[in-house]
Amino acid sequence: MIKMFIDPNLFEFQNVLAAGILVPCTLLLYIKFFYPTLQRETDILFIAGGLLYSFIMILHGWRLDAILLLSQLIIEGMATVYILETIRLRGVSFCRGYNIQKANNSYAELTYENEDLTKQNKYLIRKIESLDNMIIEQKKEIKKLKKRILD
């Protein structure tokens, strides 16, 4: 039996559970279409499973007794935390408009700057060594001059 009619109480607990999985799954779907470089092959499984779960909860959620509702709440909580953590770990920041290619380009620029600094450091080290050698030679000349004066 399917209880599919508009209920005056839309915020029944099973509908809240369904919406709780529906939102993260639509976020994964959003990533799949608008950030294809961040998608994973397993995303479609989570999207399909989450949408199926949500529609089953909307259609048949009224049949749940207390212990089944608690188990559904625990399962959904774990799934929601996993999906949101996956989105966070991928570095997607919707409010900042994070762009992966900008990060890659800045890394390439940093590497290039590092190479330039290394070349400059080598040049400066050679220059310091040559100045040290000049100082040593001048000290030797000063010693020779002192000996001449004292003799």
Residues 86-140 pLDDT 10s: 777 776 554 455 454 455 555 555 555 566 667 777 788 888 888 888 888 888 8
Nearest CA-CA partner of 87 in 7, 23, 131: 23
Q: What is the pLDDT of residues 21-31, one digit of tens each?
A: 888 888 888 88
In whole angstroms, give the CA distance from residue 23 to residue 43.
Answer: 14
The residue type of 60 is H
pTM for this entry: 0.48
